[in-house]
Amino acid sequence: MPELPEVETTRAGVEPHVAGQRVRTVIVRQPQLRWPVSDALARDLPGQTIHAVRRRAKYLLFAADTGHVCLHLGMSGRLRVVPADTPVETHDHVDIVLENDTLLRFNDARRFGSLFWLTGDPHEFSLLSRLGPEPLSDAFDGAWLRARSAGRRTAVKAFIMDAAVVVGVGNIYACEALHMAGIHPRRTAGRIGRARYERLAEAIKQVLAEAIAVGGTTLRDYIGVDGDTGYFQLSLAAYGREGQPCPRGCGPIRREVIGQRSTFFCPVCQT
Kindly give, in sequence order, each residue whose CB lies less than 8 Å from that of residue 51, ignoring residues fewer than 6 positions away. Answer: 19, 20, 63, 64, 65
The question of whether 261 is a catalytic residue gets the answer: yes
Does the annotation mark 202 as catalytic?
Answer: no
- Residue 226: pLDDT over 80: no
Name the residue among 255, 258, 257, 191 with its Cα closest to residue 266: 255
Topology of the domain comprising 4-124: N-terminal domain of MutM-like DNA repair proteins (3.20.190)
Catalytic residue among 11, 58, 148, 196: 58
Is 43 marked as binding a ligand? Answer: no
Q: Cβ contacts of residue 128 below 8 Å, gap of 6+?
A: 56, 57, 59, 70, 122
Per-domain residue ranges of the chain: 4-124, 142-265
pLDDT digits (tens, 9 = 90+) for 14-50: 999 999 999 999 999 999 999 999 899 999 999 999 9
110 annotated to a ligand binding site = yes
Confidence category of residue 214, pLDDT binned at 50, 70, 90 = confident
Chain mean position to CA 58: 4
Q: Give residue 251's pLDDT.
A: 87
Which CATH code for domain 142-265?
1.10.8.50
58 is catalytic: yes
The one catalytic residue among 186, 242, 261, 267: 261
Catalytically annotated residue among 3, 6, 8, 176: 3
3-state secondary structure the chain: CCCHHHHHHHHHHHHHHHCCEEEEEEEECCCECCCECCHHHHHHCCCCEECEEEEECCEEEEECCCCEEEEECCCCCEEEEEECCCCCCCCEEEEEEECCCEEEEEECCCCCCEEEEECCCHHHCCCCCCCCCCCCCCCCCHHHHHHHHCCCCCEHHHHHCCCCCCCCCCHHHHHHHHHHHCCCCCCEHHHCCHHHHHHHHHHHHHHHHHHHHCCCCCCCCCCCCCCCCCCHHHHCCCCCCECCECCCCCCEEEEEEECCEEEEECCCCCC
Does the annotation mark 2 as catalytic? Answer: yes
pLDDT at 1: 67
pTM of the model: 0.88
- Annotated ligand binding at 91? The verdict is yes
Positive or negative: CA dihedral 120, 122, 127, 131? negative
The pLDDT tens digits for 58-104 are: 999 999 999 999 999 998 899 999 999 999 999 999 999 999 999 99
pLDDT digits (tens, 9 = 90+) for 95-137: 999 999 999 999 999 999 999 999 999 999 999 999 999 999 9
